[in-house]
Amino acid sequence: MTLKDTAIIGVDVGTGSARAGIFDGTGKLLGSASHPIAMNRPRPDFVGQDSENIWQSVCKSVQDALIKSGVDGSKVSAIGFDATCSLVIRGANDQPLPVSPDGPANWDVIVWMDHRATREAEQCTATGSKVLEYIGGTMSPEMEIPKLMWLKRHNPTVWGKMTAAYDLADFLAFRATGDNARSCCTVTCKWTHLAHEDTPWNQEFLTKVGLDDFIEKVGIDGPAVAVGAPVGKLSANAARDLGLTPNCMVGAGLIDAHAGALGTLGAHLGGNLDQRFAMIAGTSTCHMALSAEPRFIKGVWGPYFGAVAPGLWLNEGGQSATGALLDHICALHPFARDLGRDAHRLAGEKLLPRMMEKADLAPRLHLLPDFHGNRSPLADPEALGVISGLTLDQSEDSFLDLYWATACAIAYGTRHIIDALNATGYDIRYIHLSGGHTASPVLVKLYADVTGCDVVMSECAEPVLLGAAMLAAAALVPDGGLEAASKSMAAPDTVKSPDSTAKADHDRRYAIFHKLHVHRQELDAMSHG
């Protein structure tokens, strides 16, 4: 079928909310809505959610988006889901199982940012297994294997009852269709599935880390499904819940950041992607680079085969706290502590004019942004943040300087990742930016000035939702459908170019940024005596 005259839904499940967008076949957003998701933090480093609460939030957002768009649910031909890489645990008869000791049964999701499995991640890294070559050499506690190891060791009762475990995007596809299919994106990026090999699961590695029963307990019973391939049609129950019909097709899903990459890079599939870099930036930031051949980069996840589009390799960098770090800085500073979201608005209004006049607003104030570890390219989950150059000043100007220096540090972290990519064959010149950071003129300007790249932003207000909708559209034309759907639905771009006069100042600050890394390492070594 053609995409003309059809309605398509993209659903994005982030950390704090589910969002749904109704699109036509050209990629025009007709209406969108969101609904919050509950979260539970029973202990330090423990973060849980309720999969049924997530599903209800998805349904509510779809229903509200349909109302806002004026589209009748019977006219929707396909739906696609993206989600955070959170882990859903289910038992017999698809019953939720508690992921934290003594926790209520309904809290069956270990959220992506949960760091309870740091030791298990270190043990995975210590195996030296071949699978590590495809995740930058280091296992992250934000991946699923360490979390499953932790569950088996620390909650054996739940492990004994477990009959299935899903990445959240796959759970949503299962909840929608009843089909147990797993997306090539989720299992390749977060589960050590080697999609390019005839035997994709490395049983030797799984046995070494104590997961010899992995296949049985996780409930994987077939090959991974290509991104955008059809999983099946909505079940009668799911169609009723969503306000759609059982004729609605469901496409294999993506991790949320990967949907953002597809939504912003989709128009360029089939071309030379070495100069293009997708950055999905909100609470945290993911960095996506695609290539025709595999590239092995220390501290950068991948290369992942087929994780965003069939036939292409993905390298994925990340910063675990970016928007969350700015929130934290606002909460720490006495001037901004009680302003809430107004602190960000104030910073944007006051800082941008100053940045137009002078590149370095705080020459003696410098940060390392690793307040939640360093995901890339150092791959050190225990790395700590550093602030150098504080005074007793509690004024507005003091807050603005600290906010600006923090935003600089976030941008330097991105440059650090780009440098690692470029050292292996990439030639990044364009940052395709999506997510909440597009609303911050301070961050947009810094990303351009610090990296020397053009920052490209889709004119679609919801590029992550657009990526999810592209998945859905691809499921309607499965033969080569993803490239065709992505190009058909891609939105025009706006571009922010770097200010060359700021280069020298940011180069100097970036050199200090690297010195801080060295000094932190030295201090850590001395501290451990």
| Residue 31 dihedral angles phi and psi, to the nearest 5° | 175, 150
Tokens of 90: 């289910």
**For residue 521, what pLDDT is reported?**
95
Query: What is the identity of the amino acid at 524?
Result: D
Summary count for the chain: helices (H), strands (E)? 17, 19
Q: Which residues of the chain have pLDDT under 70?
A: 1-4, 478-480, 529
Map out the domains of the chain with their CATH numbers: 7-264 (3.30.420.40)
The SS3 assignment for 266 reads: helix
Name the residue with tokens 């679609």: 460
Q: Identify the burial level of 459 via C-beta atoms within 10 angstroms of its C-beta, where 0-12 means exposed, 13-18 middle and 19 or more buried.
A: exposed
Name the residue with tokens 């979201």: 341
**For residue 222, what pLDDT is reported?**
84
CB 262 within 8 A of CB 90: no
Instruction: Note the Cα 429 to chain centre separation in Å.
Output: 22
334: DSSP letter: T
Pairing of strands 87-91, 17-24: unpaired
d(CA 70, CA 31) in angstroms, rounded, equals: 8
**For residue 272, what pLDDT is reported?**
84
Helical residues (DSSP H) of 423-502, grouped into ranges: 441-451, 463-476, 481-489
Evaluate the CA torsion angle 50, 226, 81, 291 in order and state its sign: positive
Radius of gyration of the CA atoms of the chain, in A:
22
Nearest residue to 72 (alpha-carbon basis) of 231, 228, 248? 248
**For residue 50, what pLDDT is reported?**
98
**For residue 478, what pLDDT is reported?**
65
Between vectors from CA 270 to CA 269 and to CA 273, what angle results, nearest 5°?
65
Name the residue with tokens 């297994």: 129
- Work out the widest C-alpha separation in the chain, in whole angstroms: 68
**For residue 162, what pLDDT is reported?**
97
**For residue 103, what pLDDT is reported?**
77
Name the residue with tokens 């599903």: 55
Orientation angle between helical segments 396-422 and 342-357, nearest 10 degrees: 70
Overall pTM surpassing 0.85 (yes/no) = yes
d(CA 42, CA 50) in angstroms, rounded, equals: 13
Q: Identify the burial level of 292 via C-beta atoms within 10 angstroms of its C-beta, where 0-12 means exposed, 13-18 middle and 19 or more buried.
A: exposed
CB 429 within 8 A of CB 275: yes
Orientation angle between helical segments 463-476 and 256-265, nearest 10 degrees: 80
**For residue 102, what pLDDT is reported?**
76
Q: What is the DSSP string of 280-319?
A: EESSSEEEEEEESS----TTSEEEEETSSSTT-EEEEEEE
**For residue 435, what pLDDT is reported?**
87
**For residue 2, what pLDDT is reported?**
56
The SS3 assignment for 144 reads: helix
Between vectors from CA 359 to CA 357 and to CA 364, what angle results, nearest 5°?
125
